Amino acid sequence: MSTIIRASAPAKVNLVFEVGQLAANGYHPVNSLFLALDLREELTLAKGELGTGISIYVHGDSIPESHINAVPTDQSNLVHKTAALFAKKLGVATPDLQIDIHKRIPVAGGMAGGSADAAATPRFTIEELAQVGAELGSDVPFCIYGGMALGTGRGEVITPLEDLSFETNWLLCASSKGLSTPTVFAAFDEIGFGTAFTDLNDISAVSSAQELGSRMSNDLEQAAFSLMPSLSEQVAQLEELGAIRAMVSGSGPTIAALFESEAKAIEVSKVLISQGVVALTAKGGAQGSRLDG
């Protein structure tokens, strides 16, 4: 099998996720603060036999096998959709490709795992890719940009921000079951809870993890708790164990916990792993999608 290309894209957490009322287009307007993490999905693309179309193989050993098994390998896989959409935009036939996806981001976890796969699918210019990416999912453009950024519209309009001046250390607790994004947004509509959008442009000037933790919020958190009550206990447990702030990531159910240091995050991960929790450490501010060779 001749390798054409290797590419990768990062996971995201939403440091702030403010959600407005459901709009006529079926989406909720959001005011979101994204941070990319150095937890990357890796894609390897090789030319397939003539006429075989796109075939996808998914694997990974740092997240539960149930997550790997939950990823479709047919036309509904976001990588498949991305490759097919690019081919259509270019006016060429769908390519014959063997695509290997090394998954590291929890599946259906509110961390943009599928979006990162789409973002890592080889590209045109970053702007063109972001534009096409938005048709595939609201989080795809951010996974293309990486770093830290504001997301407005339905989350797909990206304004890159200056990086934070300090390192952020995260512990991510994956759930064995996923939560569907539309279901969480529907629960949000029922609860009728949301905050007015705030100005997040000054966030790059925050000077410590403590200060950043005090700015974190997620309007979807109560909706995720209502669907999976154990999540609120997990947030409380993480904060008792020393997290500066623990919060549902995006539409969940992954919990993202911010720690003062990498050593502390690793120490707490060991406690949780011994209790059977899938706990992954990561650093914030990672690069967006890129070619790795």
- Indicate which residues carry an active-site annotation: 12, 139
Quick check: helix, strand or coil at residue 83?
Answer: helix
- Closest CB to ligand C5P among residues 12, 154: 154
> According to the binding rule CB under 6 A, does residue 182 interact with ligand C5P?
yes
Write out the binding residues for ligand C5P, residues 118-157 only, by CB under 6 A: 137-139, 154-155
Task: Output the six-digit token pair for 287.
Answer: 């690069």
CB of 276 to ligand C5P, least distance (A): 29
- Closest CB to ligand C5P among residues 132, 279: 132
Which of 20, 71, 75, 24 is closest to 219 using CA atoms? Answer: 20
CB of 25 to ligand C5P, least distance (A): 9
Question: What is the residue type of 107?
Answer: V
Quick check: helix, strand or coil at residue 89?
Answer: helix
CB of 44 to ligand C5P, least distance (A): 25
CB of 78 to ligand C5P, least distance (A): 9
- Closest CB to ligand C5P among residues 138, 269: 138
Quick check: helix, strand or coil at residue 158?
Answer: strand
Nearest-CB residue for ligand C5P: 138
> According to the binding rule CB under 6 A, does residue 12 interact with ligand C5P?
no
Whether 170 and 258 have beta carbons less than 8 Å apart is answered as yes
Write out the binding residues for ligand C5P, residues 183-222 only, by CB under 6 A: 185
Radius of gyration of the chain (CA): 18
How far apart are alpha carbons 279 and 293 in whole angstroms? Answer: 29
CB of 28 to ligand C5P, least distance (A): 4
> According to the binding rule CB under 6 A, does residue 72 interact with ligand C5P?
no
- Closest CB to ligand C5P among residues 28, 40: 28
214: left (phi over 0), alpha (psi -120 to 50) or beta: alpha
DSSP 160-192: EEPPPSS--EEEEEE-SS---HHHHHHHHHHHT
- Closest CB to ligand C5P among residues 119, 258: 119
- Closest CB to ligand C5P among residues 108, 216: 108
How far apart are alpha carbons 281 and 266 in whole angstroms? Answer: 7
CA–CA distances in Å: residue 104 to residues 82, 173, 186, 204:
19, 13, 28, 27
CB of 181 to ligand C5P, least distance (A): 4
Write out the binding residues for ligand C5P, residues 14-53 only, by CB under 6 A: 26-28, 30
Q: 211-220 burial, b if ≥16 CB within 10 A, otherwise e?
A: ebbeebbbbb
Instruction: Out of 8, 181, 234, 289, point to the residue binding ligand C5P (CB under 6 A).
Output: 181
| Binding stretches for ligand C5P (CB under 6 A) | 26-28, 30, 137-139, 154-155, 181-182, 185
